[in-house]
Chains A and B, each alone.
Chain A
Amino acid sequence: MTQEPTPTTSRYLTPFNVVAGIVVVVGLIITVLRFTGGLSTVTHLSDDNPWGIWIGFDLLVGVALAAGGYVTSAAVYIFGMKRFHAAVRPAILTGFLGYALVVLALHYDVGRPWRLPYPFLVSQGTTSLLFEVAACVALYLTVLFIEFSPAAMEWLGLKRARGLVVRLTLLLTIFGVMLSTLHQSSLGALFLIAPAKLHPLWYSSYIPIYFFITSIIAGLSMVIFESGLSHKFFKDKMDEEHLAGKNVVMLGFGKAAAWVLAGYFFIKVIGIAADNQWHYLATGYGAWYLVELLGFVALPAFMYAVGVREKNTTIIRWTAAWTVLGIVVNRFNICLVAFNWYLPSDQRYFPHWMEIGISVFIVTIGVLAFRFIVTRMPILYAHPDYEAH
């Protein structure tokens, strides 16, 4: 035999699996601590800082980055951009996993997670923007599950059921875009009720619109970012359409992202002008605001444009990663940095390492689930027995 012997144990003992295994074990331990000792054992949350990174990262960033699902399916099924077809399934899968993990993370954060259906079943607080968020996230998770299901059904050989679901594609896509518009924007609108707590540079009555537009930017960038990663790690799973489609998707989505970022930059500037907040720019918070606006909005807009012009997918890929980071910065600024900005520093929040531990744990579960699914189901390739939809 010329082939190297590969005993089963070493096949699973890759560095990635070892790290993922440690993260999962630590995550499970923190889970036990959370549900026995309460939030005070594992978080630095306080009466002044009721929301930490489980909301700032897991909910706000998570939902924004999972926007690739609605952005891609809308482009292909509603706007008829068939050339991006290969990007639909990976984007839907990421979206579905993203939302599922957001809901999982909320189980850690809220006091009585088994009451999460209460807003619908027991007592409807319809004046709350959180009610809108909850309703839309619940519905959209269902929509994403149905949109994702054809891949699972092809894998399981459920031809008839798949045929039924595929016929719903347009309806599901429209419903998905509507729900996404609503909850992406209302995540920002959550902060409308606290004008006294959020720094005036970040507080704006346009904040729902900002959140909606940045979700499009996040969705486009995540699709690019993730397609880059998939091409690196799951190349063997890809068929011709996906291999060939990579550059089409990168250039197309990169171009769209450049435009949306540029538009976002301008309405942000208009927002400052409308509320006449120029004088805040001279403060420390103002400097940080400019870092966000110039470094994470203007710069990537420009870099995307350069990448598309030169047809340089390396630039586009790096810009996508940078933009995703920019989304994290933006959501953290609103939820954590600019929130309670007037409080003395000893009353401010900084995450406990175990809070970070749970967030890493949840992202790891997502990556593992993604790997499990793409190595089994027709996500990165078209199933030979089925016609594309």
Chain B
Amino acid sequence: MSISRRKFLGWMGAAGVVGATSETARAASNKQFKGYADSNAVLHDMTRCIGCRRCEAACNTVNELPAPERPFDDLKVLEKQRRTTAQAYTIVNQHFPDGSGRPPVFVKKQCNHCLEPACASACFVKAFTKTPEGAVIYNADVCVGCRYCMVACPFDVPAYEYHKALDPKIMKCTMCHPRILEGKLPGCVEACPTEALVYGKRDELIRVARDRIHTFPERYLDHIYGEHEMGGTSWLYLTGVPFASLGLREDLGNKAAGEFTSGALGAVPIVIGLWPVLLTGIYAINKRKEKIAAEEQAAAVASAVAQTRDEAEGRLKAAMEKAKQDEDAAVAREVKKALEEAAKARQDTGQTGSGDEGQA
């Protein structure tokens, strides 16, 4: 391991800082985006909406969607709360925020064309694009059909063609992007008989909305829904009753979707950078421990072997010496025996032979 201790601590510090403040990570990982300057939007003034469903009909026509089960002039449909589906990019819901005796309030739902869309941030093949014109458009040619965009969208907008076996698509309002490029109005805006929908530059529409709130303070709440929600949207809403009572969530906060994930994304390079180093370090430490243990063991074995060898040698030497002594003793004994025998033999022959000798 060749990293210095100081360098290592530096890395750890960096990891701690980035991990603790996701802002830092965000700055490092993806840039802050506050929407295109001159982008367009739609202002939906619910105090003007009469729930005629002509926007729904127009949307169906311009997008060539399948004919609905019940015709668009059947207002009984409004009795049930609905959401956008693969067959309807937009729907109008009816609410009775002041009790059933009072006049209803109608809300048109469709994609809000967020300035920093959750769907786009979530899609792992970049199928969604926020266009400079304002629309968030979808590209079916790369879509895998994982439906993570549906999980991510805070407004529950994207729908899916569950009935299609092999080529299902995500279906959602396009803000009529093709028509906008042709210089036309979005289908629903064009069809609205009361100007409850107005299309224009977003900045301008916010001014218009402020004006209305200012001029008719008893008619409107002082809140343009969509100005800041989830980082801001290109569909803006005005009403006189609390938005939450109309199915427009007020607990979403003003942070754009990307801000919730930037911390986790910022951690990726840290893990990639730090983990191999740490793990190799741990491995090296263990390897070293093992090596030292092995060396100690080897040393112990060696010394044991040496000791045994010394002992063995000692014993051998002793044995040899003893053997030598024994041998010497044996030789001496043998010699002695032989000498004795020889002497004895000589005596015997001397006794008999002396007579012979004397005779000779």
Contacts and interface: CB of A to CB of B under 8 A. Distances in A.
A231 interface: no
B142 interface: yes
Given A78-B283, A127-B265, A115 B251 contact: no
A316 interface: no
Given A78-B286, A79-B286, A119-B125, A186 B144 contact: no
A118 interface: yes
A147 to B, nearest CB: 15
B121 interface: yes
A302 B153 CA distance: 41
B163 A38 contact: yes
A388 interface: no
B80 to A, nearest CB: 11
A125 B84 contact: no
Interface residues of B, number: 64
B166 A35 contact: yes
B162 A40 contact: yes
Given A40-B163, A47-B150, A50-B150, A80 B290 contact: yes
Most A-side CB within 10 Å, residue of B154, B249, B252, B267: B267
Interface string A171-200: 001110110011001100111111111000
Interface in B113-131: 118, 120-127
Contact of A128 (B123, B168, B279, B290): B123
Interface stretch (B100-108, B269-277, B302-310, B322-330): B269-277
A58 interface: no
A280 interface: no
A343 to B, nearest CB: 9
B282 A79 contact: yes
A129 interface: yes
A124 B143 CA distance: 12
Interface string A43-82: 1011110110000000000000000000000100111100
B30 interface: yes
B147 A38 contact: no
A23 to B, nearest CB: 23
Nearest to A33: B165
A134 interface: yes
Nearest to A132: B268
B143 A112 contact: yes
A193 B162 contact: no
B121 A128 contact: yes
A50 B122 CA distance: 14
A36 interface: yes
Interface in B237-284: 249, 251-253, 257-258, 260-261, 263-265, 267-268, 271-272, 275-276, 279-280, 282-283
B124 A131 contact: yes
B192 interface: no
Interface in A8-42: 34-41
A123 B145 contact: no
Interface string A157-181: 0000000000000100111011001
A130 B148 contact: yes
B152 interface: yes
Interface string B279-304: 11011001101100000000000000
Interface string B154-167: 10101111111111
Contacts of A190: 148, 151
B265 A129 contact: yes
A188 to B, nearest CB: 9
B83 interface: yes
Nearest to B162: A40
B85 interface: yes
A47 B85 contact: yes
A174 B156 CA distance: 41
A359 to B, nearest CB: 18
A116 interface: yes
A208 B267 CA distance: 10
Contact of B143 (A51, A109, A111, A175): A111
Contact of A124 (B126, B162, B260, B267): B126
With most chain A CB atoms within 10 A of its CB, the pick from B154, B264, B276 is B264
B305 to A, nearest CB: 25
A76 to B, nearest CB: 10
A125 B249 contact: no
Contacts of A192: 260-261, 263-264
A47 B125 contact: no
B146 interface: yes
Contacts of B287: 80
A80 B124 contact: no
Contact of B142 (A47, A118, A173): A118
Contact of B283 (A40, A48, A170): A170
A110 interface: yes
A212 to B, nearest CB: 10
Interface string A301-314: 00000000000000
Contact of A193 (B22, B121, B160, B276): B121
A205 interface: yes
A124 B124 CA distance: 6
B168 to A, nearest CB: 4
Contact of A127 (B83, B85, B258): B258
Contact of A110 (B30, B146, B279, B280): B146
Contact of A178 (B144, B148, B275): B275
A39 B145 CA distance: 11
Nearest to B165: A38
B164 A115 contact: no
Given A79-B282, A131-B124, A181-B271, A193 B257 contact: yes
A34 B165 contact: yes
B275 A208 contact: no
A110 B165 CA distance: 10
**Pairs A-B, 7 closest by C-beta atoms:** A111-B145, A80-B286, A50-B147, A40-B162, A50-B150, A189-B264, A131-B124
30 contacts: A35-B166, A37-B165, A38-B162, A39-B162, A45-B160, A47-B156, A48-B156, A78-B283, A80-B286, A110-B145, A110-B147, A111-B160, A112-B145, A115-B143, A115-B145, A125-B126, A128-B121, A128-B123, A130-B122, A130-B123, A130-B124, A130-B148, A174-B275, A174-B276, A178-B276, A190-B151, A193-B122, A193-B152, A197-B151, A205-B260
Given A78-B279, A118-B142, A193-B257, 14 more contacts: A47-B83, A80-B286, A111-B145, A111-B164, A111-B168, A115-B144, A123-B142, A128-B122, A128-B123, A128-B124, A128-B148, A130-B146, A182-B268, A208-B267
